[in-house]
Structure 1
Amino acid sequence: MSYPDATPEPIAFGERLRILRTRRGMTRPVLAGLLGKSPSWLKQIERGDLHTPSLPMVLRMAEALRVRDLSDLTGDAARMPTALFIGPGHPRLPEVRAAVDAFPLPVDDRRAPDTAHLRASLAHAWAARHSAPNHREVIGTLLPGLIRDGQLAVRQAGTPAERRAAQAVLAEVYSLAQFFLAYQPDSALLWRVAERGMVAAQESGDPHALGMAAWLTAEAHRDSAQYDGADAVTMQALHWLEPQLPDAGEDVRAIAGALQVAAGYTASSRGDAGSAWGWWDKADRVARGLSAAYYHPVTSFSRAVMGAHAVTLAVELHAGNESVRQVRQADVRSIPSRPRRARHRIEEARAYQLDGKPEAALETVDKAHENAPETIQYNGYARRIILEETEAKAPDRRRRASELAVKVGVLAA
């Protein structure tokens, strides 16, 4: 007796593309525009009338759709490099996960550090992150202790005021944890930490803590292409902060500015240039009201970073000439954080590639790697640029891209 083969037919590339596009709420004309193609071309790809595009075009589709694992798009994990927008698991990840997952029982007889000590420890951690090329290693070493101490401080708080102060510090500890966990292969842990950070911030009632938690939550939504969720969090936080801004200190005003930039990023991801630049203008006015040397340790918001934000907006809007013009105006040397400078270099590389300057794009990615190698290893845009250029027709560029791919860890030696 014979039985029918129960193995389902593989889903064709075009159908996978259509499913991912509709799941993201993106129309065919919008996606086609982001790819520099016509809606009719995209329709033919989705219907299977045209062959699967080349690797560079597949990588651009993955970027536009915020696909973290290329096999979701290609259906072929064996032949395609899959971890595009997810970096490798850091060696410190199990220790951080254990600290987050530990159930904090009230049997710990240690005395919790006071909030002043915790804040000093956090300031040290942020400073170390901004100065280190291996910034994930640095904060991954510090995080388990900070998480345990922050939780203990909340449990041992003697008064409502002390508990609110401890919750504000714990919220910032979770903010630091999100920088470590971003783009690592444990998205459930990242979202769990984001939710805990938001709860701690809400319990604290502290405007700065709430603004930070909202900013990070909006970032997580946008990275997942959940633009409505990103906008909802951003707008609610800005509406709540607005009445407090006239009398607020620099940290709270900087958080409001960072949220305005976040709103601009989301608008640019949707292709809404008017709203994107309108939000940038508002944020720039906030930045100009801060002291010249001010630099927010969590969001990097400052006068120095506004040029970098302008580059990213132009890149997200796929405006090649404008992107390069903004690159020329931005001063990367004024950004005091090594990982933030490396991230800006990656945005510069995206601008050059958009403007048809692949050699400059590769050179700029290499500069970013020299500045902060761990930033490159976990950045999907950098990985996409490198992988695209490994397929370049020019032999010298293909060789350079392949060497950089090995150095970064995108391809094995």
Structure 2
Amino acid sequence: MPRISLRGGANPALVAHVMVLLVAVVPGAMATSVRSVYLITTAHIDPFLAGSFNYASTLLGITFVYYAARGHLDRLNPVVVSVLASVCALAASLCVLSALYSPLFLVGATVFNALAQVGGSSIFLYDERYGPRGDADTGLYRTRLLLSVAWIVAPPLSFVLFWIGGFPAVVAATALFGAVSSTAMIMVSRTRSPSTGSGPGQAKPASGGKEGGLGFWPIFAIMVATACANVLHSTNMPLYLIQVQHAPTFWPGLIMGAAAFVEVVVIALLPRLTKATSDAAVLWSGLVLGIVYFALLSVVHEPQIILACQVLYGAHFAATTVVCLPMLRRALAGGTGSLAAQFNNASRIGGLTASALFAVLATPLGFYWILTKLCLGVLLAALGLGVVRRIVTRRRAVEA
């Protein structure tokens, strides 16, 4: 039975590999965490312009990743892609830093940040080719677990550095992490031969087996819906706690940290859960947990109870977003690089949709109730889509 093990005594090669991946994914999360804060508070960039920069770079990044997902990324060396992505991420941070002198530097930051987003997909491919040999799905879970760990480590670290030395300290840390990860990847690639991996066309198509016969687009739509609900919630909930409930400012961080901790635990258990049941069963359970969570938030208002409910939310987010990776692999005629690119694009499209919905619906009065109901409706729609798709697939199978 495949397991995710991080114990050095048991497998030092796996621990070394995990540390290389973690160092590679932390810099992007660090820069993202404080970038908008720096632009608005230090560089005195208009909030609308700062938001437009994030929106434009994400849209351009989706375009770059989309073309990378069309089989191109599977043919490239993940080490080269990761190193170039680190260079682009550093260039984007330097452009953001230079926005203190002219907002025109944000044009360069937009392009470089979009190019750097391709590197997030190459991490999955690097893990497949240079990581410990084993079950392919376990490799996906391991890499996705590290992305969650990075978002637990990076925000506190980046804000501490920002508090101590401003955004230049964050840029210096980004450069250091990028140099270390790039050097480690190059050394590994020279001392270890890569596995053949899953090139274009080698992934198994959806066949109505463990993935439940959903197919690519329903799975992609479920991932977009989950990402949309997550971004809406992570934007809406802190404002509600601070502005409406007048909770101390540490409460949103505490609640998000609790959800992230539960998410990491559930991701670590997912290989066993999917082995005991199926990917589809875990996905449906995750969607139901999210529906129950947002239904409770419609009637629960105390921060302490919301904190306790993060058990539901962390489990929901881990189950729905992570288990879609192996399901998407079986539904996608491409390799791991294309798979990771589609996964990242689903997250970004969901985030952009949520940002637009928040801008339209977030009003001084009643925004919490409206957006919470919207999150509930989005997950209900995702669950309904999956159910309808399975019914249609089974009917076609019977008729055939």
TM-score by length of 2: 0.26
Larger radius of gyration: 1
TM-score by length of 1: 0.26
Normalized per residue, the structure richer in helix is 2
